[in-house]
Structure 1
Amino acid sequence: MDDRPTVPPASGAPSPPPRRRRWWLWALLIVIVLLIAYALLHRRAGTPAPGQQAGGGGGWHRNGGQNPDQPQPVTADTAKLGDMPIEITQIATVTPLATVTVRSLISGYLVKINFTEGQEVKRGDILAEIDPRLYQAALEQAQGTLAKDQASLKQAQVDLARYQLLGRQKSIQQQTIDDQTYTVQQYQGAVRYDLGQVAQAQTNLDYCHIRAPVDGRVGLRQVDLGNYITAGDTNGLVIETQLKPMSLIFAIPQSNIPTLMSRLGAGATLPVSAYNAADTAAIATDGAVSNVDTQVDTTTGTVKLRAMFPNTDEKLFPSAFANAHLLLDTLHDVLLVPTSAVQTGPSGLFVYLIKPDDTIEIRDVTTGPSGAGNTVIASGLASGDRVVTDGTDHLRAGTKITIPAAPKAADPNAQQHHTGHRHRSGGDQQPN
């Protein structure tokens, strides 16, 4: 046993500085941060996670989520020959052939109205009557004046004949004969004037009966019975509109004028259908082009057309807006593909052509008119060629494609039989 006393350390010995004790902690922290940043950057760049092979994962690919080596599912259709109707659709206005404001041509009190609002009338029907008594009196006065002047004319003519006889006998002077000749001519002029007065009075009397100018329908009455009306009334008595037949006025681009005039010149009938303002339902389908305007509107570059409709059901209402569908022509035996198959690229129009080995070829095409979901192919395809109509997002030249089969309708009887059989099998099964 050592009985030597323990010597305490000298109080003045130096201790390690605090900065040297902590520097390794900061270095470790920096290394950890760099490792985390490195792992995050490589994960964003697509580095496969541990345990996952590059390019594996059951066909998953970070470019679009699919493996480019797998066939791309698409929808396809076949180019085929058919007819393509060239139809022009334009906004139109329903325009009657005649809209007449029925006015009185004379002044007087309205004593009779012979129509009801909305009534169908014929040309010449008496719609209203004006008090005729003043005009009847004026006619009788004119007739009386005419009768008086006619009698004076006859008397003058008799005197002229007597004077001419005496003149041949040298019994009177020639001047007397000449004066009587002029007197006869004056009475002839008076009779002619009186005849005009009688005709005017008779016309005014006829105007007391206000007649329908055309076949059509009268609207709302503008004047009530008993009012004093004049020839200068702005509103008139009633407005009459001809409803049968009815016309549709619309404009087509001037580029279609050559085809239009060629068809009309050949005696063709160009059918026109009228649709509602929303262009969703047909109003009348039995119209045809009847007239073409004589000049192009320079502000719009269009020419106006009038199409006539029988309008027997009166569905075309005057001044209403509609959509005119003009069948300008029909192209027969042209190559058609669905419009959705035609794509637009930097070099123009093209289609995705499906080759016999189910790979894609990009084929440039020239198109013609379109309509009813189809487009005319002028060049670039042949009848029977298959083209892609849907699923073109990831297609490239040489891409392998597949066309999924259309799902078959399930047979409810077969499904019920299968379900019942399964239940029976499950119920009859005995545990081992």
Structure 2
Amino acid sequence: VQQVTVRPQVDGRIDKVLFVEGQPVKRGDVLVQIDPRPFLVALHQAQGALARDKAQLETNQANLKRYEGLKAQNLVAGQQVEEIAGQVGQFEGAVKIDQAQIENAQLQLDYTQVKAPLDGIAGVRQVDAGNLVRQTDANGIVVITQIDPAAVFFTLPQDQLASVAQALARGDVPVEAYSRDGATRLATGKLAVLDNQVNQATATLRLKALVPNADRVLWPNAFVKARMLVETHKDAIVIPLVAIQRGPQGAYVYAVGPDNTAQMKPITIALTTGDVAVVGKGLSGGEKLITEGQNQVRPGGRVQPVVPGAAPAAPGRPAGPDRRRRGPEAEQGSGAPPAVRPESGQTRPRGPATGPTASNQPAAP
């Protein structure tokens, strides 16, 4: 969430480096010790000036009391009393200046211990012990990065703004961070910030999620894939993306009818995520869909389910009774979509393709 370049606040020579590169540091830990001797000298000088001015102030205060008594007896002129009172005021101001100089000297002395401004991980050291460092050094001493919690930045099309804003208004919006290939979930957090403007060049909106990162699986400036749960569709019909075809009239799928004939069904897609799509209209759930070789299928053409990995029946020879019974059982037990192919008398492609593939897609909540 935060990244700080640690720089010295006083100039001087580094006596000690007290942190280890790549290791955690706590807020207030001393990272570097700068030679404190010049600042001790300045502190002692300020303390000496304060003692001197305090002594003179006390002397003038005592004189002022005496002269005020003499004035009451008309033994001294009022001008002398006023002069002594002015000297008392001058030394009171001098004492305050001396106190401020002592505080400044103590602050400069404290700055000789360069401390961590936040909890985080120390980066690569930029300087070694013995070097002279200055406040104006561009690279600083070390960069400290806070990695727990981690901040994940990602963008969404501006068309999704309304749904994200509504979800955020309802409560916490979960966000999952995945590896770059999308195969491994690294951490889960929640949406923290919705940017206040849309990028005009890309028509996207920037979002920020805070993710616990105690295991340090997320690293600063690393690329991840983010998934955000905006809305839950109950009893939704979910189909694989590979089953969806596009035509002049829009999206459609091929379903296998009870008589093993291909049926073209127009559909509307409500949502696409990963390798699946949520169907808004066109399917009732439980249909057996063709997922491979759709270019070989025509509406009303006959197809025959084939379990993936099993040898297809020889041309002209129908599958035996046992094969027909095992097909649905393998389909339901393994969860893999069974393949279908044209029956005898239809043209078959040459090569390794076994023909169209169908699968039962039950309604998934």
Q: Take 1:187 and 1:390, find their aligned partners in 2: how far apart are those partners?
A: 97
TM-score (norm. length: structure 1): 0.65
Q: Take 2:21 and 2:288, find their aligned partners in 1: how far apart are those partners?
A: 64
> Alignment partner for residue 37 of structure 2, among 133, 143, 158?
133
1:86-97 paired onto structure 2 within 5 Å: 97=1
Structure 1 moving runs of 4+ over 6 Å: 407-410
Alignment of 1:259 with 2:163, yes or no, is yes
TM-score (norm. length: structure 2): 0.76
CA shift in 2, pair 1:106/1:283, >3 Å: farther
Q: 3-state DSSP class of the match of 1:177?
A: helix
> Alignment partner for residue 148 of structure 1, among 18, 39, 52?
52
Amino acid at match of 2:2: A
CA shift in 2, pair 1:408/1:187, >3 Å: closer
Alignment of 1:403 with 2:304, yes or no, is yes
1:195-210 paired onto structure 2 within 5 Å: 195-210=99-114
Higher mean C-alpha displacement, 302-311 vs 157-166: 157-166
Q: 3-state DSSP class of the match of 1:149?
A: helix
Q: 3-state DSSP class of the match of 1:291?
A: strand
Q: Take 1:377 and 1:192, find their aligned partners in 2: how far apart are those partners?
A: 79
CA shift in 2, pair 1:99/1:336, >3 Å: closer
Amino acid at match of 2:304: I
CA shift in 2, pair 1:107/1:172, >3 Å: same
> Alignment partner for residue 91 of structure 2, among 187, 195, 210?
187
Report the Cα offset of residue 407 of structure 1.
Answer: 7.5
CA shift in 2, pair 1:235/1:172, >3 Å: same
Q: 2:244 maps to which residue?
A: 342
> Alignment partner for residue 234 of structure 2, among 332, 355, 358?
332
> Alignment partner for residue 221 of structure 2, among 316, 319, 344?
319
Higher mean C-alpha displacement, 323-332 vs 204-213: 323-332
Q: Take 1:136 and 1:361, find their aligned partners in 2: how far apart are those partners?
A: 91
1:54-93 paired onto structure 2 within 5 Å: none
CA shift in 2, pair 1:391/1:223, >3 Å: closer
Amino acid at match of 2:199: D
Q: Take 1:197 and 1:403, find their aligned partners in 2: how far apart are those partners?
A: 95
Structure with the bigger RCO (C-alpha within 8 Å, sep 6+) is 1
C-alpha RMSD of the superposition: 2.7
Q: Take 1:221 and 1:358, find their aligned partners in 2: how far apart are those partners?
A: 71
Q: Take 2:309 and 2:132, find their aligned partners in 1: how far apart are those partners?
A: 81
Q: 3-state DSSP class of the match of 2:67?
A: helix
Report the Cα offset of residue 199 of structure 1.
Answer: 0.9
Q: Take 1:351 and 1:407, find their aligned partners in 2: how far apart are those partners?
A: 20
Q: 3-state DSSP class of the match of 2:147?
A: coil
Report the Cα offset of residue 225 of structure 1.
Answer: 2.1
Aligned length: 311
1:23-34 paired onto structure 2 within 5 Å: none
Report the Cα offset of residue 331 of structure 1.
Answer: 1.6
Q: Take 2:239 and 2:183, find their aligned partners in 1: how far apart are those partners?
A: 26
Q: Take 2:39 and 2:168, find their aligned partners in 1: how far apart are those partners?
A: 53
Alignment of 1:380 with 2:271, yes or no, is no
Q: Take 2:155 and 2:231, find their aligned partners in 1: how far apart are those partners?
A: 17
CA shift in 2, pair 1:294/1:163, >3 Å: farther
Unaligned runs of 5+ in 1: 1-96, 411-432
Q: Take 1:239 and 1:361, find their aligned partners in 2: how far apart are those partners?
A: 63
Q: 3-state DSSP class of the match of 1:313?
A: coil
Amino acid at match of 2:307: A
Amino acid at match of 1:99: Q
Q: Indicate if the aligned counterparts of 1:272 and 1:307 stay in contact, CA closer than 8 A.
A: no
| 1:56-85: CA deviation from partner (whole Å, max 9, x where unpaired) | xxxxxxxxxxxxxxxxxxxxxxxxxxxxxx
CA shift in 2, pair 1:155/1:288, >3 Å: same
| 1:269-296: CA deviation from partner (whole Å, max 9, x where unpaired) | 32222313xx244261223222222322
Q: Indicate if the aligned counterparts of 2:187 and 2:212 stay in contact, CA closer than 8 A.
A: no
Report the Cα offset of residue 202 of structure 1.
Answer: 0.9
| 1:119-157: CA deviation from partner (whole Å, max 9, x where unpaired) | 322222222222222211110000110111122222223
> Alignment partner for residue 300 of structure 1, among 197, 202, 208?
202
Q: 2:347 maps to which residue?
A: none
Q: Take 1:271 and 1:238, find their aligned partners in 2: how far apart are those partners?
A: 32
